[in-house]
Amino acid sequence: MTNLHRHAPLRVALVGLGTVGGGVIRLLNTNGDLIARRAGCPIQVVAISARDRNKDRGVDLSPYEWVDDMTTLATRDDIDVVVELIGGADGPALTLARQCLAAGKPFVTANKAMLAHHGLDLASRAEKAGVALKYEAAVAGGIPVIKGMREGAAANEISRVYGILNGTCNYILTTMEKEGRGFDEVLKEAQELGYAEADPSFDIDGVDAAHKLTILASLAFGTELDFDHVATTGIRHVIAADIAEAAALGFRIRLVGMAENGPEGLFQRVHPMLVPLDHPLAHVDGSLNAVVAEGNFVGRLFFQGRGAGDGPTASAVVADLIDVARDEYGDALAMPVAALTPQQPADAGQRIGRAYLRFKVQDRPGVLAEIAAATRDAGVSIESMIQRGANQADGVLVAIVTHAGEERCVRETLERLAGSDSLLDTPMVMHILD
């Protein structure tokens, strides 16, 4: 139902006053008149709650009621919708979400971890209560990819959804690419600039991207959320030489989250990949995000924009609030929870594709023959093999690009080489985006 005649303000409780929470207040203050015209009513923050009442957040909080116990917000009659921006898969955020939905109060969140782990439960609660569960800000910041998937592409069967889902990783990889510097140095700089957290593990190990991919896969395929079966590898072992080799071969390295659904099951993976220069993802630089969805009637859809930060993420939060004000919302996961299908995880070993393998090895005769024998015995066909010895005082690098073949053969190659005293480090495998 669309409420075209609403005039009373939409009264918002804002829980969490970090970067995004402050951005929501600034956005509503700056664009309030325009937002009111689009929403059909003013949208007003009336209550706020956060961990530290005295912290300077660079925005005037005096107009808003401070609430120490955020759980009381769920049942207050003078609050129409609660926005949760505190994060965390469990704990206070999940408790608040369940309390709001139980009380029949619309709930807006940017919490991808909570949705990836508990989205089915929350969507079911929202459905039973007949209220909105909105989360545009949880995936790709200011890019309206959730709305695009739930609404714009709703008539299509989606065969594949994939993209660059973490701005921190993309910033690190593209800076390494442009400046030829190593991972550790660029990560330290990203932390100093505020692009990376003091503990960057969730970003650089691919967990953040895996949370987002879980949500996109459910929306794309109508399957149940299944974070536990996202095969996840981050970027901390990508070295400058990998970037250089990829460039020489006509690729750029990007951390790509990819999901496909088919007769063999649901495939979900977050992994550094070699992306051809003629693919749009190869030109997504810096902290930008991008999502590609392939539909059977609409073809390739490409969403790109700023994936994080106060402005883009606040934009997505307020867009959800406008939908709530209009009473424009449907099932949280694009269809009733009962209509979502459980799907077995697909065996990645049966996937066909090319791969890049990089070995750090002893500089001695016979090493290349040992690697070649392992690939031959595992059924891997080598397209090219490059040995780089320069500037590798503690060994040499051997890079291989394979012909298209089953991924299990690449895995078997590494198993055959495991324990070899020729290898000085764990081999790096990156698949090539077709």
2 within a domain of the structure (yes/no): no
**Of 210, 252, 182, 292, whose CA–CA distance to 430 is shortest?**
252
Residues 6+ apart with CB under 8 A from 218: 119, 224, 225, 226, 333, 334, 340
What does the pLDDT read at residue 2? 41
Crossing angle for the helix pair 240-248 and 167-179, to the nearest 10 degrees? 70
154 within a domain of the structure (yes/no): yes
Residue 407: CATH number of its domain: 3.30.70.260
Residues 169 and 242 in one domain: yes
Residues 194 and 250 in one domain: yes
Domain count of the fold of the chain: 3
Residues 24 and 50 in one domain: yes
Query: Taking the alpha carbons of 49, 53, 59, 65 in that order, is the dihedral positive or negative?
Result: positive
Query: Taking the alpha carbons of 240, 191, 232, 416 in that order, is the dihedral positive or negative?
Result: positive
Residues 109 and 246 in one domain: no
Average pLDDT (126-139) is 97
Q: Which residues pair with 405 in a beta bridge?
A: 353
201 within a domain of the structure (yes/no): yes
Residue 185: CATH number of its domain: 3.30.360.10
Q: Is 197 annotated as a binding residue?
A: yes
Q: Is 112 annotated as a binding residue?
A: yes
Share of the chain above pLDDT 90, in %: 87
What does the pLDDT read at residue 415? 96
Residues 152 and 134 in one domain: no
What does the pLDDT read at residue 1? 38
Give 47: exposed, middle or buried? Use CB within 10 Å, 0-12, 13-18, 19+.
buried
Q: Catalytic: which of 105, 134, 212, 360?
A: 212
What does the pLDDT read at residue 4? 44
Q: Is 18 annotated as a binding residue?
A: yes
In this structure, the strands spanning 396-402 and 355-361 are antiparallel
Q: How are the residues of the chain apportioned to helix, strand and coil, as percentages rounded to the nearest 5?
A: 40, 25, 35
Cα gap 132→149, rounded to integer Å: 17
The answer, as to whether pTM is greater than 0.75, is yes
159 within a domain of the structure (yes/no): yes
Condensed to tens digits (0 to 9), the pLDDT of residues 24-65 reads 999 999 999 999 999 999 999 999 999 988 888 888 899 999
Q: Which residues pair with 394 in a beta bridge?
A: none
Q: Is 17 annotated as a binding residue?
A: yes
125 within a domain of the structure (yes/no): yes
Residue 107: CATH number of its domain: 3.40.50.720
Q: Is 21 annotated as a binding residue?
A: yes
Q: Is 341 annotated as a binding residue?
A: no
Residues 361 and 278 in one domain: no
319 Cα distance to chain centroid: 19
Residues 301 and 158 in one domain: yes
Q: Is 349 annotated as a binding residue?
A: no
150 within a domain of the structure (yes/no): yes
Domain boundaries, position 27: 10-142+314-333
Q: Which amino acid is it at 318?
A: V
Cα gap 418→373, rounded to integer Å: 13
Q: Is 105 annotated as a binding residue?
A: no
Mean pLDDT for the chain overall? 94
Cα gap 171→357, rounded to integer Å: 23
What does the pLDDT read at residue 393? 61
Condensed to tens digits (0 to 9), the pLDDT of residues 166-181 reads 999 999 999 999 999 9
Cα gap 213→291, rounded to integer Å: 10
Top-confidence residue, 329 or 77: 77
Task: Could you list the beta-strand ranges (E) of 349-416.
Answer: 352-353, 355-361, 382-388, 396-402, 405-406
Whether 3 shows a pLDDT value over 50: the answer reads no
What does the pLDDT read at residue 387? 86
Contact 288, 170 (CB under 8 A): yes
Q: Is 20 annotated as a binding residue?
A: yes
188 carries an active-site annotation:
no
Q: Is 360 annotated as a binding residue?
A: no
Residues 156 and 296 in one domain: yes
417 within a domain of the structure (yes/no): yes
Residues 364 and 221 in one domain: no
- Of 29-38, 48-57, 365-374, 403-412, the one with minimum mean pLDDT is 48-57
340 within a domain of the structure (yes/no): no
Residues 205 and 294 in one domain: yes
Q: Which residues pair with 372 in a beta bridge?
A: none
Residues 274 and 293 in one domain: yes
Look at the block and give the residue holding tokens 């695009």. Answer: 148
Residues 269 and 286 in one domain: yes
